[in-house]
Structure 1
Amino acid sequence: MKFVCSKANLMGGLQIVQKAVPSKTTMSILECILVDATEGVIKFNANDMELGIQTVVDGNIIERGLIAIESKIFGDIVRKLPDSEVTVETDSSNKVTISCGKAKFNIIGRKGDDFTYLPSIEKIDGVSVTQYTLRNVIQQTIFSIAENDNNKMMSGELFEVDGDNLKLVSLDGHRISIRKVKLGASYPYKKVIVPGKTLNEISKILGDSTEKMVNIFFTDKHVLFEFDKTIVVSRLIEGEYFSIDQMLSSDYETKMSINRKEFLDCIDRATIYVKEGDKKPVIISITDGTMELKINSAIGSMDEEIDIEKQGKDLMIGFNPKFLIDALRVIDDETVDIYLVNPKAPCFIRDKEGAYIYLVLPVNFTTVD
């Protein structure tokens, strides 16, 4: 095999597929990237058996072939090459020669036939959404998935397609994030759970184009995302997702409308007093026209007031500041509406159209004068 391409193209392809190379594995072949130039295009493949990525790299094929190259050393070499044309060549003993200008590197590759290919997904009833939209809805929900795998369902996100509506849901036991978007067409009903790791990696690859599309295809066990010259295939999390509708109430005793950025900045200032791993809550007191935010810790204390519009009862409630910050950071609206019932019940941050809903559970606190 022999091909020539620019360093930029080579590095771009490597950075995409390396997201599917496992950091630890008992199967050494999975630490490799499969370079496939057997069909007239240069394809890079990586697969950790849960997530697989394939991308096409623009270049000139001189001799077709197939080789598996250890991902880390391949990436390290290419990263340090001059910004010029790169030639990648293999011989019958699987020796790989990478040359660029006067630099030449030799490494030992492996037979490409040993590599585990991505599962074949039949592309039927695909859903199309812009790259910008998919990246945004992932980023607006991904922070609410659980950080560990104690509950497999909480480590993924619900993808629900219903006609021309796409809904993503994530939860971790302390909060729920829901994001809904209108699709450009109507599609058959689908409901699957996509691993958070997959969505996190996809959000890093996707661009912000409002014109370029992502085509999504589902089977019983896999999901395929196809965009630009890249294919991402992931196993789905099997099982029934949580019934969240019963957790979402429209009842409230207190409603406040507040400037999103002012509220976010105020909470952010309060976190100066919160050490890593500390569970100190921010305490919010809501009265007519004013919201007071307090935090007390061993380091010091803070007290700040923000103007609000309030309907209903006065209320004092405590929250983990991180949960509020995560939600407020991904909302675009200038003003947000927050609905509360009592100090023990969840609060809801939601818009009138139902495009987003963030549920945050309060925390217990003791008042200190």
Structure 2
Amino acid sequence: MRFTIQREKLIASVQDVMKAISSRTVIPILTGMKIEVKQHGVTLTGSDSDISIESYIPAEDEDKVYVENIEEGTIVLQAKYFPEIVRKLPEAQVDIVVDEQFNVKITSGKSEFNLNGQSADEYPLLPQVETENSFEMPIDLLKSMIKQTVFAVSTMETRPILTGVNIKLEDQNLIFTATDSHRLAKREVPVSGTNVSIEQVVVPGKSLNELYKILNDSEETIEISVTNNQILFRTKHLNFLSRLLDGNYPETSRLIPDHSKTTIQIKTTPLLRSIERASLLAKEERNNVVKFTSNDDALIQISSNSPEVGNVEEEVTADKIDGENLKISFSSKYMIDALKAIEYDEVIIEFTGAMRPFVIRPIENDSILQLILPVRTY
């Protein structure tokens, strides 16, 4: 096997597939990276038991040559050393030659490395995802859906199903929901041109975080395919495969209140900054609790008190307050996460009482919803 490749292209692909390689895997060969060389290009694969990533470098693309001097073959290289070697090579081109005994020679300029490879016969084949149940959407839209929901998944393994994001597609409407049982994040988008329906699949939050990092902010589309226990995200040069979580996701729609007693319309950034400042003293106390008090003259008081440290109070002006005056306490961390995820200049917050969950949405867009359970303070 042999090929000569542009180093920058190789580095980008290596970095992508490394996100799926773990040194803690129980299958020794999965600590390596599989490289498959064909006349049309080179495919790199990394996998652990949860996610598998294939990155493809075409031999030629848009009249640019990325891979040449091709002799077909496959090899598995130690992921512990290969990425570092590639990153530090001196020239723009890298020449890789593999002999019958899987000895690998990597040359660039005057630098030459010899590595011991492994036969790729041992490397498990990735599950094939049938693409009947698939739809397409813009990459940037998928990334914003991940960003607006994945932070709310649970980090506790006590209820494994809550460590994932619930994905549902019905009537050309795609819904992402995440909850850790103290807060909930939900985002809906219309997906045109598909008659596929996906009842509910739960994708590990960890997988979606890695996918988010890998995807370029391009306008291109991504194809999403689902089977019984796998989900595949496919772009022109990338296949990202994740296992799905087993179990039934809780019915979350009944958590969302259908009426409110107090509605506050407010600019996102001043509110966010104020809560961030109040949280500086709330760190020591249980749950980073911040108090939120509204009164008649559109002023909101944000305060936090930590007996050992001190207290902080400040006022923020709301654009509009309707309904009853309100005193409520909540986790500053949850509120900060929610406001950061919304990405709109102005939000509407709907309260149904001091001990009931409250809802935050952007004013111009009710397809984004954040829900937070208050904290009881005595």
User: Normalised by the size of structure 1, how large is the TM-score?
Assistant: 0.95
Q: 1:230–1:105: structure 2 CA closer, same or farther, 3 Å change rule?
A: same
- Is 1:269 the counterpart of 2:283 in the alignment? no
Partner of 2:305: 296
SS at 1:272's partner residue?
helix
Q: 1:4–1:158: structure 2 CA closer, same or farther, 3 Å change rule?
A: same
Specify every segment of 5 or more residues in structure 2 that has no aligned partner in the other structure, as ranges: 59-66
Partner of 2:10: 10
Amino acid at match of 2:205: G
Amino acid at match of 1:356: I
Amino acid at match of 1:306: V
Q: 1:293–1:154: structure 2 CA closer, same or farther, 3 Å change rule?
A: same
> 1:44: how far off?
0.2
Contact map agreement 2:96 2:104 (CA 8 A) in 1: yes
Distance 2:39 2:276 in 1: 53
Contact map agreement 2:91 2:109 (CA 8 A) in 1: no
Amino acid at match of 1:43: T
Partner of 1:209: 218
Q: Deviations over 1:261-288 (max 9, x none)?
A: 1101111112222437852310000112
Write out the 4+ residue segments of structure 1 that deviate beyond 3 Å after TM superposition.
274-278
Distance 1:134 1:61 in 2: 38
Contact map agreement 2:223 2:235 (CA 8 A) in 1: yes
Amino acid at match of 1:223: I
Partner of 2:175: 167
Distance 1:120 1:155 in 2: 25
Partner of 1:138: 146
Contact map agreement 2:292 2:301 (CA 8 A) in 1: yes
Within 5 Å, give how 1:317-332 maps onto structure 2: 317-332=328-343
Partner of 1:257: 265
SS at 1:238's partner residue?
coil
Partner of 1:363: 375
Partner of 2:75: 67
Partner of 1:103: 111
> 1:128: how far off?
0.6
Contact map agreement 2:282 2:305 (CA 8 A) in 1: no
Q: Deviations over 1:70-127 (max 9, x none)?
A: 1121111111112410111111111111111111111111001111121111111311
Q: Deviations over 1:221-278 (max 9, x none)?
A: 1111101300011111122211011111112111111110110111111222243785
Task: Name which of structure 1's ranges 352-361 and 298-307 shifts more when overlaid on structure 2.
Answer: 352-361
Q: 1:137–1:304: structure 2 CA closer, same or farther, 3 Å change rule?
A: same
Q: 1:329–1:30: structure 2 CA closer, same or farther, 3 Å change rule?
A: same
SS at 1:15's partner residue?
helix
SS at 1:12's partner residue?
helix
Q: Deviations over 1:288-311 (max 9, x none)?
A: 211100011222221110111111
SS at 2:81's partner residue?
helix
Amino acid at match of 2:322: Q
Q: 1:148–1:81: structure 2 CA closer, same or farther, 3 Å change rule?
A: farther
> 1:150: how far off?
1.7
Distance 2:157 2:32 in 1: 26
- Is 1:226 the counterpart of 2:234 in the alignment? yes
> 1:171: how far off?
0.5
Task: Name which of structure 1's ranges 316-325 and 234-243 shifts more when overlaid on structure 2.
Answer: 234-243
Distance 2:27 2:176 in 1: 34
Identity among equivalent positions (%) equals: 29
Partner of 1:306: 316
Aligned CA-pair RMSD: 1.5
Q: Deviations over 1:107-158 (max 9, x none)?
A: 1110011111211111113111101000110011010001132211101111
Partner of 2:202: 193
> 1:340: how far off?
0.7
User: Normalised by the size of structure 2, how large is the TM-score?
Assistant: 0.93
- Is 1:182 the counterpart of 2:193 in the alignment? no
> 1:23: how far off?
3.4
SS at 2:192's partner residue?
strand
Partner of 2:48: 48
> 1:341: how far off?
1.4
- Length, aligned pairs only: 365
Specify every segment of 5 or more residues in structure 1 that has no aligned partner in the other structure, as ranges: none
Contact map agreement 1:258 1:336 (CA 8 A) in 2: yes
SS at 1:330's partner residue?
helix
Q: Deviations over 1:9-62 (max 9, x none)?
A: 111000111111023122210101100114632000111122111011242252
